[in-house]
Chain A
Amino acid sequence: MAVPTLPGPEGSAGVAAPAPKRRPSGAARRRSLLPHLVLWVGVVAALFPFYWSVVMATNTTRDIFSTPPKLVPGTHLAENIANVFARIDFFGALANTALVAVVTTVLVLTLDSLAAFAFAKFEFPGRRVLFGLLLLLFMLPAQLSLIPQFLIMRELGWTGQLQALVVPALANAFGVFWMRQYMSTSVPDEVLDAARLDGCGFFRQWWHVAVPTARPGLAFLAIYTFVAAWNDYVWPLIVLVNPEVQTLQTSLAQLNVSFGTDYSMVMAGALMAIIPIMVAFLFLSRWFVADGVAGAVK
Chain B
Amino acid sequence: MTLTAPSGAPGRRDPGALAASAGRGRRKRLVRPARTGGSQQRLGPVYLAIAPFFVLFGVFVLVPVVFSIWLSFQKYSVLGGIGASEFVGLRNYEFLAQDATFRRAIVNSLLIWVLGTFPMLAMAIVIAAMINSVTRLKSFYRLAYFLPNVTSIVAVTLFFGALFSEQFGLINQVLEGLGLSGVPWLTDPWAMKAVVAILITWQWCGYNAILYLAGMQAIPGDVYEAAALDGAGPVRQFWSITLPLLRPVILFTTVISTITTLQTFTEPQVLFGSNTAVNPNSGGPGQGALTMVLYFYQQAFNNNDYGYGAAIAMGVFAVVLVFVVINFRLARTGDDH
Contacts and interface: CB of A to CB of B under 8 A. Distances in A.
Interface in A155-213: 167-168, 170-171, 173-174, 176-178, 180-181, 184-185, 189, 192-193, 201-203, 206
Interface stretch (B152-160, B187-195, B327-335): B152-160
A138 B17 contact: yes
Interface stretch (A72-80, A82-90, A115-123): A115-123
Given A8-B224, A32-B134, A135-B18, A233 B266 contact: yes
Nearest to A285: B143
Contacts of B163: 49, 52
Among B59, B62, B68, B153, chain A packs the most CB atoms within 10 A around the CB of B68
A218 interface: no
Given A143-B316, A273-B155, A177 B21 contact: yes
Interface in B1-46: 1-8, 10-15, 17-18, 20-21, 23, 26-31, 43, 45-46
Given A14-B238, A178-B6, A267-B162, A144 B314 contact: yes
B interface residue count range (under 10 / 10 to 19 / 20 to 34 / 35 or more): 35 or more
B170 A69 contact: yes
Nearest to B168: A65
Contact of B148 (A46, A146, A266): A46
Given A11-B135, A131-B21, A253-B270, A173 B61 contact: yes
A65 B169 CA distance: 7
B251 interface: no
Nearest to A139: B15
A257 B47 CA distance: 48
B49 interface: yes
A25 interface: no
Interface in B42-58: 43, 45-50, 52-54, 56-57
Contact of B147 (A5, A224, A252, A281): A281
B224 A6 contact: yes
A149 B64 contact: yes
Interface stretch (B101-109, B112-120, B210-218): B210-218
Given A143-B293, A278-B150, 12 more contacts: A5-B217, A14-B133, A14-B238, A46-B148, A52-B159, A68-B177, A115-B49, A141-B13, A177-B18, A177-B21, A178-B20, A298-B1
Interface of B: 1-8, 10-15, 17-18, 20-21, 23, 26-31, 43, 45-50, 52-54, 56-57, 59-65, 67-68, 71, 82, 126-127, 129-137, 139, 141-148, 150-156, 158-163, 165, 167-168, 170, 173, 177, 202, 205-207, 210-211, 213-221, 224-225, 228, 232-235, 237-238, 242, 249, 259, 263, 265-266, 269-270, 273-274, 293, 296-297, 300-301, 306, 309-310, 313-314, 316-317, 320
